[in-house]
């Protein structure tokens, strides 16, 4: 085997060990945490001491979780971001298949979009940003209505909550 082929095999093995291993372990943790929504709320509550939250997380983790994955989970725990685990897994999966330069359009609506509405967004976003942009649809009832679209550092905020906040600021400034 030539040196280039051998190097490629080593790189592929390292890639599989890191990325695919992380994805499967993080997914297993996510699935375990999903069975206890109250635990997830407590893990993200930074008013509870880190030691207590860490003990609760450790009790919920699979016993054979890798130390590097466990340490990553502790970082999420420290910052009160364990609730972001599902999004982290989705972004890691996207990065592993599309590479670090992949662009994502996050479309957040107050209610789930219909397939036709999703297709309309897909066409508009691909027309504006290119067909290589992945779409990530999310639901957040706190925006009350409308849609927020974010592609990289560009944000188009058409949410009702944002419009109400803007109106409030103008009214306060007019006093």
For the stretch 83-106, pLDDT in tens is 999 989 988 888 777 776 778 899
Q: Which tokens go with 84? A: 């972001």
pTM of the full structure: 0.65
pLDDT tens for each residue of 46-64: 999 999 999 999 999 988 8
67, HSE (Cβ side, Cα atoms, 13 Å) = 0
Closest CA to 64 of 96, 97, 24, 92: 24
pLDDT of the residue at 119 = 95
Between residues 93 and 15, the one the model is more confident about: 93
How far, rounded to the nearest angstrom, does the alpha carbon of residue 86 sit from its chain's CA centroid? 6
How would residue 153 be classed by pLDDT, with cut points 50, 70 and 90?
confident
The arithmetic mean of pLDDT across residues 120-149, rounded, is 90
pLDDT of the residue at 104 = 86
CA-CA distance, 156 to 138, in Å (whole number)? Answer: 15
The arithmetic mean of pLDDT across residues 65-82, rounded, is 94
The arithmetic mean of pLDDT across residues 14-22, rounded, is 79
Closest CA to 23 of 77, 88, 103: 88
Would you tell me how many other CB atoms lie within 10 Å of the CB of residue 28? 15
How would residue 158 be classed by pLDDT, with cut points 50, 70 and 90?
confident
Contact call for residues 86 and 13 (beta carbons, < 8 A): no
How far, rounded to the nearest angstrom, does the alpha carbon of residue 102 sit from its chain's CA centroid? 14
Contact call for residues 27 and 85 (beta carbons, < 8 A): no
């Amino acid at each position: 085997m030539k040196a280039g082929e051998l190097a490629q095999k080593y790189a592929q093995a390292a890639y599989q060990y890191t990325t695919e291993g992380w994805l499967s372990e993080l997914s297993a943790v996510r699935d375990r945490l999903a069975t206890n929504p109250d635990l997830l709320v407590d893990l993200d509550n930074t008013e509870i001491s880190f030691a207590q939250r860490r003990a609760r997380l450790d009790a919920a983790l699979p016993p054979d979780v890798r130390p590097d994955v466990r340490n990553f989970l502790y970082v999420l725990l420290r910052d009160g971001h364990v609730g972001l685990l599902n999004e982290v897994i989705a972004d890691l999966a996207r990065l592993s298949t599309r590479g670090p330069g992949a662009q994502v359009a996050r479309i957040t609506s107050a209610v789930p979009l219909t397939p036709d509405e999703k297709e309309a967004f897909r066409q508009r976003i691909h027309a504006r940003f290119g067909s290589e942009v992945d779409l990530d649809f999310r639901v957040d009832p706190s925006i009350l209505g409308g849609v927020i679209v974010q592609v990289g550092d560009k944000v188009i905020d058409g949410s009702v909550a944002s419009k109400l906040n803007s109106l409030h600021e103008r009214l306060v400034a007019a006093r």
